[in-house]
Amino acid sequence: MASMSALPQPSRSAADPPTGALPPLPNPKPRKSTSGPADTSRPASPYQQLSKLRTPSSPKPSLARSPLSNSNSTSNLSAIRSASSGRAPGSPDKTLRRTISIASFPQPPKAGGSRPSTASSVSAIPANSTGTVKPKRSSRLSTGTVSSYRSSKTPSLLNGSGDGRSIAADPRDPEGSPSHSRSSSAQGSCSTSATTFEDGEDSATTGKSASKPKESKGNVIVSVRVRPDINQGETPRNHGEWGVDGRQSLISHRGKDGGDYYYDNVFTAHENNAKVYDSAAKRLVRRVMEGYHGTVFAYGMTGTGKTFSMQGTATSPGVIPLAITDIFSFIRETPHREFLLRVSYLEIYNEKIHDLLSASLATGPAAAQQEEIKLREDSKRGVYATPLKEEIVQSPTQLLRVIARGDHARRTSSTQFNARSSRSHAVVQIVVESRERVPTNNAQDKRAGIAPGGVRVSTLSLIDLAGSERAADDKERRTEGAHINKSLLTLGNIISKLSDAKDKQGNPMDKEGRHLPYRDSKLTRLLQGALSGNSLVSILCTIQLVSGVNAHSGETLNTLKFAARAKNNIVSHAQKAEEAYGAGGADSGSRVLLERYRMEIQTLRGQLDTQAKAQQEKELKWDEQQFEKEAQARHEEQVLEMQLARTALKERIEHLNRLILSSKSTGVNNHSSLSSAFGRLSRMSATDSGTRSLRSSASQSTLGAAHSSMRPISFMSINSNEPSGAMPFSSASFGNQDEDDMGEFGDGNASLQRQVTALQADLGDKNRYISTLERRLLQARRSSHSRMSVGVKSTSSTIAEHPDMMTMLREKDMEINELRIQLDDKDRMLAALRSAARHRDLAAVTNDTQSPELKEKGEFITSDTNGPSGTHSTTDKPLDSPAPALQGRGEDKDDDRRKNMDEVSRMLDEMIQGRVDSGHLEKSPMEKIKRASDGSRRVSMSAEVPGLNAAAGPAPVEVTSSGSPLS
């Protein structure tokens, strides 16, 4: 039992009752007596004798009846007593005290039901007789054991930045996960119950623990797990010199340094991870959710199953995944609170801290250049690592994924720095923030019902320590091992030195009044809060019991001693964190609420802006489409109008051509036709002089009639009363004019009448056609003007964009002008014909007054035969050979006739001129408008215009609307 005496000396008297208010404790497991006559249910075991040693029925354990065959048993017992009464280390009482202390820890009920009643003098000792706890009040009520806050910007319910990311059970969801279920556990068959540690949360908050000092030890749970021996299989009861009794949570060693070690839990090789979690961590996790800080760590030699216990496997999830499942189960079971979860993951490798969540993002050189993470301390947060990445998680899957990412980073980086080997300490931290919710009927906004209450912050630290190792051959391994061993040694030292002593600032001191060496390693510095008693602590020590040459008895014993020291010395005064308000103080709840509303308003405003922008773009697009459609429609309309106008013009031209042809065919417009004469002379004059006025052409035609047309006219007027011999007015008759003057006179009258009628009909057609054209033109212009005023683009720009349209319009105008000119010509012809008719009538009257003598002689008054166009005579004799007897008188009469003819020609000219001047020839309204607006306006006709050429001849003719010559 030398080893037992080497254990750290208890610094507290077993008799000292705790005096301070302590956190709630689970009801200590009824440690039934492991010895005594009453215990008959438990099967005998090699370690029953040990149990029988601890069956005192009195408050002070009596080891007098110890059945230990060890010769030193007496001294050991005395040593225990000595320890219990505060004697010096090494005294026999020390062993006793240790035993009592361990046995007094609260034990979780075994899954199989109540613990078999085993006689145990130790367990029979009243719990409060252990006296291992002195009331210790922490001034840092809400500090975490391992704080990981980086800055005030850390998402938190306290500063409002965690709003919207909190998790809350829907109180209306009747199908929330049932309490205490572990549906997501791979160990579905595993029965877990929240009542395992039902010890009264209320007592924790109401301070009832003050009257139950012993219960403070329940805040530290020490468990030992035995890894199955792969070679032997699961042979829990055959570990050579080792004895394992899971039911009694006892491990005994029968070697020369043998002894019995009782813990809160001893997990045999056949017990799975779910069982380990239920007994060692479940209660702690739920307490963290209620507002306590909690730390779970696995300690043990390398390869003994620390990682297996903490992480587990896919088929057997370990403490970490099971804790995560429980966290979210708790949230579902607590609808009256909302929660915010933040997670960080770091490792300590060769005394350097690495952020596993950041490292997983940056690999290679970037990971190497990661900012160095340091440990800081402040009065509120305690010791924390910074800068450390924290991730907000809202579901178990998300949380598991983050941790898996960290695990992966830990492993892969080991290839570069060997930091991913299990030779590093890995720390998962989950910060839990929560606050009250009040019921609300507002289904739309659950947040509206959140009371502006304080926020409670607690931290759960889940730590997989590196395994202690003997010196390795490899240099790098040696370095790693040195760091690991140093940190673990420091941890062990601190735990062994823990005492109730504190300095003025409340920092724990050793029993000699010296400060504890937390700063000697990063690990101990990080665990300072937990070791100082501010946290619930659960330590899982893993061992592997191997007999034979490869047995690591020394290592195993060290682990067991470490666990015993931890159980003995760590005293937790963890209390539920107070509900803290934000930086704004008491009214920060309202401030946070206002801030939340402000953010919601901002979000809504942003959504509104986005929608308005989208709507605007839509409208703009629609407008553009509409405008394009309108423009297209306008274009099509204009094209249609042009086509119509063009077709109409073509038809008109064809019609006019047909009229001309029919006039020719009927002889109306033959050589003697005034219209032909006008047209021909106009063309001739245009050809000769280039550009002449219509009036001058008309004058020329009139003058020209002195040689040709005038004669027949005079002749006609003279013979207009000749009724007989009327011949059809035909080209044939024109061809034989000299042969039949009489017939010509008679036919000429009828022809003129027909010509007048035809021209009048033609005139009517033209007028109608021109009116139609003008109407269309007016309509087109009106619609164009209205578009100009309404449309986005001006008509000018539209026309400018369509030069073809401009050309077409110009052509149309020219065609209209040409038609007008033709009309004018015809009007003039009509007027001339009418005038001629009147003169003919006049001439007839004059003829009647002539000497009857002439008539009797059968002499005819013939027109002058000098004209090239030929004169008409009704006699067979040539006109140039009259009868000599009549020659003298005939000449006189010829003179008279000539005079008359000249007179008629002059009159005709004057009449035509007068009509032209007076505007009687203008029939169309447009012509009148044109005359009224601009009496001297010139109208140009271009020879290039096809319609114009077709109707009016090839030469350009420049006229004035009044018909006056421009020259």
Q: Which is nearer to ligand ATP, 228 or 946 (CB)?
A: 228
Region of 296-304, 385-393, 547-555, 621-629 interacting with ligand ATP (CB under 6 A): 296-304
> Least separation, in Å, of the C-beta of 553 and ligand ATP?
17
3-state secondary structure of 252: strand
Q: Which is nearer to ligand ATP, 461 or 559 (CB)?
A: 559
Q: What is the rounded CA–CA span in Å between residue 401 and residue 416?
A: 24
- What does R_g of the chain's alpha carbons equal in angstroms? 64
β-pair type (294-300, 456-464): parallel
Q: Which two tokens stand for residue 872?
A: 């008409």
CA dihedral 891, 893, 897, 900 (to 10 degrees): 120
Q: Are 672 and 734 in contact (CB under 8 A)?
A: yes
Residues 529-548 that bind ligand ATP (CB under 6 A): 542
Q: Which residues contact 732 (CB under 8 A, 6 or more apart)?
A: 667
Q: Which residues contact 206 (CB under 8 A, 6 or more apart)?
A: none
Q: Which is nearer to ligand ATP, 560 or 684 (CB)?
A: 560
Among 303, 335, 453, 946, binds ligand ATP (CB under 6 A): 303
Residues 460-499 that bind ligand ATP (CB under 6 A): 466-467
Region of 119-127, 297-305, 434-442, 782-790 interacting with ligand ATP (CB under 6 A): 297-305
- Please report which helix (H) or strand (E) contains residue 710, including its range: helix 710-718
> Least separation, in Å, of the C-beta of 519 and ligand ATP?
25
> Least separation, in Å, of the C-beta of 292 and ligand ATP?
27
> Least separation, in Å, of the C-beta of 235 and ligand ATP?
13
Region of 301-309, 443-451, 778-786, 932-940 interacting with ligand ATP (CB under 6 A): 301-309
Q: Which is nearer to ligand ATP, 183 or 315 (CB)?
A: 315
Region of 86-94, 288-296, 306-314, 598-606 interacting with ligand ATP (CB under 6 A): 306-314
Assess 305 for contact with ligand ATP (CB under 6 A).
yes
Q: Which is nearer to ligand ATP, 269 or 681 (CB)?
A: 269
Q: Which is nearer to ligand ATP, 53 or 280 (CB)?
A: 280
Residue 609: exposure state from Cβ atoms within 10 A (0-12, 13-18, ≥19): exposed
Q: Which two tokens stand for residue 941?
A: 């006709």
Q: What is the rounded CA–CA span in Å between residue 910 and residue 919?
A: 14
Q: What is the rounded CA–CA span in Å between residue 8 and residue 14?
A: 15
Assess 720 for contact with ligand ATP (CB under 6 A).
no
Among 94, 306, 447, 826, binds ligand ATP (CB under 6 A): 306
> Least separation, in Å, of the C-beta of 361 and ligand ATP?
24
> Least separation, in Å, of the C-beta of 279 and ligand ATP?
14
Q: Which is nearer to ligand ATP, 309 or 862 (CB)?
A: 309
Q: What is the rounded CA–CA span in Å between residue 185 and residue 155?
A: 29
Region of 64-72, 300-308, 363-371, 692-700 interacting with ligand ATP (CB under 6 A): 300-308
Using alpha carbons, select from 804, 809, 782, 762 the residue that is nearest to residue 646. Answer: 809
Q: What is the rounded CA–CA span in Å between residue 759 and residue 750?
A: 14
Confirm or deny that 301 is annotated as ligand binding.
yes
> Least separation, in Å, of the C-beta of 269 and ligand ATP?
7
Q: Are 138 and 506 in contact (CB under 8 A)?
A: yes
> Least separation, in Å, of the C-beta of 228 and ligand ATP?
5
Q: Which residues contact 470 (CB under 8 A, 6 or more apart)?
A: 481, 555
Distance of CA 122 to the CA centre of its chain: 68
Among 300, 312, 406, 748, binds ligand ATP (CB under 6 A): 300
3-state secondary structure of 342: strand
Q: Are 822 and 951 in contact (CB under 8 A)?
A: yes
Runs of H (alpha helix) within 518-587: 522-526, 528-529, 553-569
Q: Which is nearer to ligand ATP, 97 or 420 (CB)?
A: 420
Confirm or deny that 304 is annotated as ligand binding.
yes
Residues 833-892 that bind ligand ATP (CB under 6 A): none
> Least separation, in Å, of the C-beta of 57 and ligand ATP?
38
Q: Are 251 and 267 in contact (CB under 8 A)?
A: no
Confirm or deny that 300 is annotated as ligand binding.
yes
Q: What is the rounded CA–CA span in Å between residue 915 and residue 922?
A: 9
Q: At what angle do helices 741-790 and 925-933 cross, to 10 degrees?
A: 70
- Please report which helix (H) or strand (E) contains residue 459, including its range: strand 456-464
Q: Which is nearer to ligand ATP, 147 or 273 (CB)?
A: 273
Q: Are 734 and 671 in contact (CB under 8 A)?
A: yes
Using alpha carbons, select from 454, 530, 539 the residue that is nearest to residue 138. Answer: 530
Confirm or deny that 20 is annotated as ligand binding.
no
Q: Which is nearer to ligand ATP, 86 or 467 (CB)?
A: 467
Confirm or deny that 303 is annotated as ligand binding.
yes
Region of 138-146, 305-313, 585-593, 637-645 interacting with ligand ATP (CB under 6 A): 305-313
> Least separation, in Å, of the C-beta of 540 and ligand ATP?
11
Q: Which is nearer to ligand ATP, 8 or 236 (CB)?
A: 236
Q: Which is nearer to ligand ATP, 313 or 416 (CB)?
A: 313
Among 304, 682, 873, 905, binds ligand ATP (CB under 6 A): 304
Confirm or deny that 307 is annotated as ligand binding.
yes
Among 228, 449, 584, 965, binds ligand ATP (CB under 6 A): 228
Number of residues in contact with ligand ATP, rule: CB under 6 A? Answer: 14
Region of 208-216, 277-285, 304-312, 954-962 interacting with ligand ATP (CB under 6 A): 304-312
Among 185, 302, 696, 720, binds ligand ATP (CB under 6 A): 302
Assess 307 for contact with ligand ATP (CB under 6 A).
yes
Among 32, 134, 217, 227, binds ligand ATP (CB under 6 A): 227
Tell me the per-residue interface mask from 143 to 172 with ligand ATP, x by CB under 6 A, - otherwise: ------------------------------
Q: Read out DSSP for 413-435?
A: THHHHSTTSTTSEEEEEEEEEEE
Confirm or deny that 914 is annotated as ligand binding.
no
Cα–Cα distances (Å) from 602 to 156, 444, 616, 876, in that order, read 20, 18, 21, 120
Q: What is the rounded CA–CA span in Å between residue 497 and residue 491?
A: 10
Q: Which residues does the annotation place in the binding site?
A: 300-307
* Residues binding ligand ATP (CB under 6 A): 227-228, 300, 302-308, 422, 466-467, 542
Q: Which residues does the annotation place in the binding site for ATP?
A: 300-307
